[in-house]
Chain A
Amino acid sequence: MGFFIQLLTDPVGFYNAHELLVAQCGVNALLAISIWLTLYAGQLALATAGFMAVGAYTSVLLAIHQHTSLVAGTVSGCALAAVIAALIGLPVLRLRGVFLAIATIGFGEALRFGVILNWPLTGEGQGLTNLGANPTGGILPVWISVAALAYLGWRITRTRLGQAWAAIREDELAAAASAIDVRAHKLVAFVLSAVIAAYAGALDAHLNFFVDPTEYGFDRTVQVLVFAVLGGIGSVAGPIVGAVALTALPEAARWASDYRDVLYGAILMVVVVFRPQGLIARRRQTRRPDGLWPRLRSRLGLAATRAQ
């Protein structure tokens, strides 16, 4: 357990030895916040890695070919992600539950195979080399962003918008009857989430000398989903804690070396069984007294509309 000992006794030394890890935790925290937004509004949207790629590739390509600054490149990446999210959001957000999940997965993978891997501009399978990268300089901006988004995330749950999202998550039809424009609210969550993911992607790309297309597949999104759900989606703190814990875990578990994945998988199974509401539970979370499956299943819209 040298990892934790060093963390507690020699934080500066720890930081120096694990700078990249700290940066990575930050990026993952941003991604987790991105997916949290849509989950909070009751949507299981699994396109995070896709939008991350949009942000990463846009900012790096602009830096390489147009010599734009990091800031301009990041903003462009976010803008592009917003546009794409608005375009695909309109038809896709009509879908419920697992259908939405699959559609967004499809979008992400189609983006990866169709655009990234087969377009010479994006370097195809080889990825891009980003000579302007700054692996350690990016850490501060990343964590400042995390702090800012955490604050905003906390605030937004208390606004009319945030509470409308909570209502939509619980019951869309009842929300509509309370004059909530369900479609518009879902779109806002989706677009905001895409922008944050793109932002994280741009920052992440700037931390590495090499943009690797295999980083932006379905696996990555699943990883981010696990961060959020394990951490608890009741508040913005959950995904952040989940991201940090699960990103650091493989490092902390170095002693398990080759069996890290086995340990990771086992931990997922155990945590989700013994604490399904996540590590950071909502303030007033209580177990539902009713074991009625149909209503439970319809909670996240999963299996609410099953074709037969």
Chain B
Amino acid sequence: MLTGQELLDGIFIGSIYALFALGYTLVFGVLGIINLAHSAVFMLGAVFAYSLVALHGVEFWLAAPLAIAGAGLLGAFIEFAALRPLRRRNAPPIAALISTLGFAIACVGLIEQADGSGPLGWLWRDGANSVSFPAGTVPQTTYRLAGLTVPAPKLAILVISIVLWLALGRLVLRTQPGRAMRAVAENPRASALLGIDVDRVILLTVVGSSALAGLAGILFGVAIGDVSPYIGRDQIELRGLAVIVLGGMGNIPGTILGGYILGVIEVLALVLFGSGAHAGISFAILFLVLVVRPHGLLGTRAVERV
């Protein structure tokens, strides 16, 4: 079985998965689509923060919020360029999959070019394709709790994810804007008749979700120490899908729970099967959950009334 340390590591990485997947869940809940640009924003958040810290000497505590804001702005761009025009034309949901995918491909291609040579050559100096945040970006103090070593940054990640989960839950369930979001998620036309500005609700949802992606990217970069154009696509995208399926699509507590569970299961698989197969484990789980319980752990079975 797992040692306490390993379990803790699983929970920490799970927090990042949960934060990332929250963005998927929000957009899926309100818009009914999977936003494939989400992983690109994740990557760009990490890249913005890195460039601010490593290349411009900005303090992390300032760089992080700036990068998160930047990610939010990107979300606005995605909504205006890739999503809203499709809604205006009554395009089917698969069109949104493709336009957000296009955005993601373009982003990766663009950031790839930021190597030593070309005009964008400011990121990956010396032709490297992956960098890490400079040592000392965040304080590396560690605490000892119950015989376990808990590095402060990872603890911070855990705390942040829990706080965000609670805040988001409160927002969605108890405030008027939250109700408006749920109204738009269920029936945009009826919501418009009530005077809800459907476009604005959607814009805020996409911006918020992108900010979460940016945050998750920054935390990933700091915790795992890997910033590259490919971290969104290769590392996180499919794991995010596995999380929302596990937890229940569009269900916020389910997503959080799903994130932690996936994190722990991955560590377990790593311990049991070594680093080769453990990535495949998440997909096997994904598949099994869908076959056995498609609405996930906390989702409710949706029945279509004839």
Chain A residues in contact with chain B, CB under 8 A?
A: 44, 91-92, 95, 98-99, 102-103, 105-110, 112-114, 117-118, 173, 218-219, 222, 225-226, 229-230, 258-269, 272-273, 276, 287-288, 291-294, 296-297, 299-300, 302-308
Q: Which of A98, A261, A297 has the most C-beta atoms of chain B within 10 angstroms of its own C-beta?
A: A98
Q: Which one, B233, B286, B302, contacts A106 given CB within 8 A?
A: B286
Contact status B287-A266, CB under 8 Å: no
Chain B nearest CB from A112 CB (Å) reads 7
* B198 vs chain A, min Cβ distance (A): 9
Whether B98 and A229, one on each chain, are in contact in the complex, defined by CB atoms closer than 8 angstroms, is yes
- 4 further A-B pairs in the complex, CB-CB below 8 A; given A105-B238, A268-B102: A99-B294, A266-B102, A287-B89, A292-B189
Interface contact B106-A112, CB-CB below 8 Å: no
Contact of A114 among B105, B108, B280 (CB under 8 A): B280
With contact pairs A262-B110, A272-B98, A307-B295 given, residues A102 and B89 touching in the complex (Cβ less than 8 Å):
no
Q: Which of B16-61 contact A (CB under 8 A)?
A: 28-29, 32-34
Pairwise interchain contact B250-A308, C-beta atoms closer than 8 A: yes
Measured between alpha carbons, how far is A273 from B107 in the docked complex, in Å? Answer: 18
Flag if A110 contacts B284 (CB, 8 Å): yes
Kindly list chain A residues whose C-beta atoms are within 8 Å of the C-beta of B118: 258
Q: A106-B283, A109-B283, A308-B300 are in contact. Are A276 and B290 (CB under 8 A)?
A: no
Residues of B within 8 A of A307 (CB): 248-251, 254, 294-296, 298-302
CB distance from A118 to the nearest CB of B (A): 5
* Contact indicator per residue, chain B 97-121, by CB within 8 Å of chain A (1) or not (0): 0110111111111101100001000
- In the bound complex, residues from chain A placing their C-beta under 8 Å from that of B254 are 307
CB pair B109–A264 under 8 Å, yes or no, is yes
Chain A residue with Cβ nearest B302: A305
Q: Are A287 and B290 in contact (CB under 8 A)?
A: no
Q: Which of B90, B91, B106 contacts A261 (CB 8 A)?
A: B106
Contact of A117 among B89, B233, B276 (CB under 8 A): B276
Given A114-B277, A303-B28: A106 in contact with B295 (beta carbons within 8 A)? no
Binding-face segment, B6-14, B79-87, B129-137 = B79-87
- Give A299 Cβ to nearest chain B Cβ, in Å: 5
User: Would you mind naming 21 contact pairs between A and B with Cβ atoms under 8 Å apart?
Assistant: A95-B291, A99-B290, A103-B286, A105-B238, A113-B283, A114-B284, A219-B233, A225-B98, A229-B95, A259-B109, A276-B92, A287-B90, A291-B189, A294-B187, A297-B32, A299-B93, A302-B32, A306-B32, A307-B250, A307-B302, A308-B299
Instruction: Determine whether the beta carbon of B277 is less than 8 Å from that of A118.
Output: yes
Is residue B188 within 8 Å, beta carbon to beta carbon, of the partner chain? Answer: yes
In the assembled complex, the Cα of A304 lies from the Cα of B250 at a distance in Å of 12
Residues of B within 8 A of A98 (CB): 34, 249
Q: Which chain B residues lie closer than 8 Å to A297 at the CB level?
A: 32, 93
Nearest residue (CB) in B for A258 is B113
- The reply to whether A268 and B105 form a contact with Cβ atoms under 8 Å apart is yes
**Shortest Cβ distance from A104 into B: residue:** B287
Would you give the shortest CB distance from B135 to chain A, in whole angstroms? Answer: 31
On whether the beta carbons of B290 and A269 are closer than 8 Å, the reply is no
Residues of A within 8 A of B86 (CB): 272-273, 276
A266 in complex: contacting residue of B106, B250, B301, B302, CB < 8 Å: B106
Cα distance, A292 to B190, chains bound together (Å): 10
* Contact A259-B113, Cβ < 8 Å, known A95-B294, A105-B241: yes
Assembly CA distance A147 to B42 (angstroms): 43
Which residues of chain A have C-beta atoms less than 8 A from B187's C-beta? 293-294
Q: Which residue of A lies closest to B40 (CB)?
A: A265
A262 to B103, CA, bound (A): 8
Q: In the complex, what residues of B have CB within 8 A of residue A299's CB?
A: 92-93
Residue B304 at the chain A interface, CB threshold 8 Å: yes
Q: Are A261 and B109 in contact (CB under 8 A)?
A: yes
Q: Is B211 an interface residue (CB 8 A)?
A: no
Known contacts A106-B290, A300-B94, A307-B248; decide if A269 and B283 are in contact (CB<8 Å).
Answer: no
Of all chain B residues, the one with the shortest Cβ separation from A92 is B291
Q: List residues of chain A with CB within 8 A of the CB of B92.
A: 276, 296, 299-300, 302
Chain B nearest Cβ from A69, distance in angstroms: 32
Contact partners of B277 in chain A: CB under 8 A: 113-114, 118
**Nearest chain B CB to A109's CB is how many angstroms away?**
4
Pairs A-B, 8 closest by C-beta atoms: A307-B299, A261-B109, A113-B280, A265-B106, A268-B102, A303-B32, A265-B105, A106-B286
Contacting pair B95 A276 (CB below 8 A) = yes
A219 and B102 CA atoms in complex are apart in Å by 12
Given contacts A95-B290, A218-B238, A258-B118, contact A288 B103 (CB under 8 A): no
Contacts of A265 in B (CB 8 A): 101-107, 109
Q: Is B245 an interface residue (CB 8 A)?
A: yes
Q: Is the CB of B299 within 8 A of A272?
A: no
Contact: A268 with B110, CB < 8 Å? no
In the complex, A240→B85 CA distance in Å? 27
Q: Which residues of B contact A306 (CB under 8 A)?
A: 28-29, 32, 249-250, 302
What CA separation (Å) do A219 and B233 show in the bound complex?
9
CB-based contact A92/B238 at 8 Å: no
Complex-state Cα separation, A139 to B34, whole angstroms: 37
